[in-house]
């Protein structure tokens, strides 16, 4: 299993860009990297997924270096509503079985 | 997007009793998982619910305590047996429609054991 390591918490202010880095040193060749957002009393919600280089959607960007041993979730111009816990997971090789294991996540607090 | 419904959304139970949580998905899915999330903690995978066969449990979880049924590709149940206050938690079902690591979650079932 590819273990992930993230900062436990981060603080930011409205309008700033937030970058959350996740380490996954033993990621397997076929593993995807997926990020989730969780608000209190809700299930996690998919944000973005990537395999290598950079992926961007309407919510965030995901940067993955060539060695894929880490990844960085970038949230542009955060607002108060981005206060949540963010998790990165690795796995989900297409066509294979995997065990989606959550790490401790990063608690992001956005201040006014 | 897919709808994943869990019942009950919350319940308060007495010590020693059992509670069954249902998870209904509005389309067929192969991969379904059950998680537990204790207050202020991350999600812990309990088991993978396999259609037509016994669930695959993670370390620390056993079938006698958390029996799981998966009668078809759209439905599963998780039973929390012989409950104690330590079982107070949110229980979440999750599915991966395409087997690519993109998980979808139900809203969770908040269980309080007195």
Residues B60-81 have pLDDT tens digits of 999 999 999 999 999 999 999 9
Residues A66-96 pLDDT 10s: 999 999 999 999 999 999 999 999 886 555 5
| Torsion A61-B106-B103-A102 (CA) sign | positive
pLDDT reported for residue A31: 87
Residues of B in contact with A98 (CB under 8 A): 101
**A97: confidence class by pLDDT, cuts 50, 70, 90:** low
The whole-angstrom distance between A36's CA and the closest CA on chain B is 9
**Spans of chain B below 50 pLDDT:** none
* Range list of β-strands (E), A1-112: 9-13, 18-23, 32-38, 45-50, 53-56, 61-64, 70-75, 84-91, 106-111
DSSP B31: E
Q: Which two tokens stand for residue A68?
A: 């894929």
| Best residue in A40, A57, A100, A101 for a mutation probing chain B (most B CBs within 10 Å) | A100
Q: Which of A32, A42, A45 sits opposite B101 (nearest CB)?
A: A32
**A41: confidence class by pLDDT, cuts 50, 70, 90:** confident
pLDDT reported for residue A28: 87
pLDDT reported for residue B99: 78
When the pLDDT of each residue in chain B is averaged and rounded to a whole number, the result is: 93
Q: Quick check: A91 contacting B, CB < 8 Å?
A: yes
The answer to whether the Cβ–Cβ distance between A102 and B107 falls below 8 Å is: no
pLDDT reported for residue A1: 53
């Amino acid at each position: 299993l590819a273990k992930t390591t993230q900062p436990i918490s981060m603080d930011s202010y409205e309008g700033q860009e937030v970058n959350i880095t996740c380490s996954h040193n033993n990621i397997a060749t076929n593993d995807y990297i997926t990020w989730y957002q969780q608000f209190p009393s809700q299930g996690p919600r998919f944000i973005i997924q990537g395999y290598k280089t950079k992926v961007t959607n309407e919510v965030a960007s995901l940067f993955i270096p060539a060695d894929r041993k880490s990844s960085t979730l970038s949230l542009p111009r955060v607002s108060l509503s981005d206060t949540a816990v963010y998790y990165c997971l690795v796995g989900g090789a297409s066509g294979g079985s995997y065990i989606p294991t959550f790490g401790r996540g990063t608690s992001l607090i956005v201040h006014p | 997007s897919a709808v994943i419904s869990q019942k009950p959304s919350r319940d308060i139970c007495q010590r020693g009793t059992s509670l069954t949580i249902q998870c209904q998905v509005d389309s067929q899915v192969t991969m379904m998982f059950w998680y537990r999330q204790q207050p202020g903690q991350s999600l812990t995978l309990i088991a993978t619910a396999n259609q037509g066969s016994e669930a695959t449990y993670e370390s620390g979880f056993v079938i006698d305590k958390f029996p799981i049924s998966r009668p078809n590709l759209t439905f599963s149940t998780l039973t929390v047996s012989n409950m104690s206050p330590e079982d107070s938690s949110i229980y979440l079902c999750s599915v991966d429609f395409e087997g690519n690591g993109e998980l979808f979650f139900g809203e969770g079932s908040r269980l309080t054991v007195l």
